[in-house]
């Protein structure tokens, strides 16, 4: 049975997916859509958030938020957050009481 990713994992994976998408489709980057007179030029390729929202069946804004969070949090911090989350989950599964710090 597959379980959902934690919010930190989802943010990290979305940011990684966005960086790969932008390498494959550089014309969709924000700075690539500006013409010589600083006017917006429409791209034929879908933006990262639109393409990912269609594949994952989530809202475009949710994808944008996850990507932004993933870009702002370092890998070390994400691993630390996930480790704490997993430790709490193991303690709850074993039936032990969690003492507040």
Q: Is the model's pLDDT at 92 over the cut of 60?
A: no
DSSP letter string, 20-79? HHHHH-GGGSGGGGB-TTS-B---SSPPHHHHHHHHHT--HHHHHHHHHHHHHS-HHHHH
pTM of the model: 0.67
* C-alpha span between 48 and 18 (Å, rounded): 6
Of the CA atoms within 13 Å of residue 84, those in its CB half-sphere come to 7
The confidence score (pLDDT) of residue 8 equals 84
Q: Is the model's pLDDT at 15 over the cut of 90?
A: yes
In tens, the pLDDT along 18-76 reads 999 999 988 877 765 555 555 555 556 788 999 999 999 999 999 999 999 999 888 88
Locus of tokens 């990912």? 52
């Amino acid at each position: 049975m597959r379980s959902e990713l934690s919010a930190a994992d989802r943010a990290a994976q979305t940011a990684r997916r966005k960086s790969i998408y932008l390498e494959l489709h550089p014309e969709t980057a924000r700075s690539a859509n500006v013409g010589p007179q600083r006017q917006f030029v429409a791209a034929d390729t879908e933006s990262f958030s639109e393409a990912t929202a269609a594949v994952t069946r989530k809202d475009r804004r949710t994808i944008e938020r996850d990507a932004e969070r993933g870009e702002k949090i370092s890998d070390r911090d994400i691993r630390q957050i996930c480790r704490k989350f997993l430790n709490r989950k193991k303690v709850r599964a074993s039936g032990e009481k969690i003492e507040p710090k």
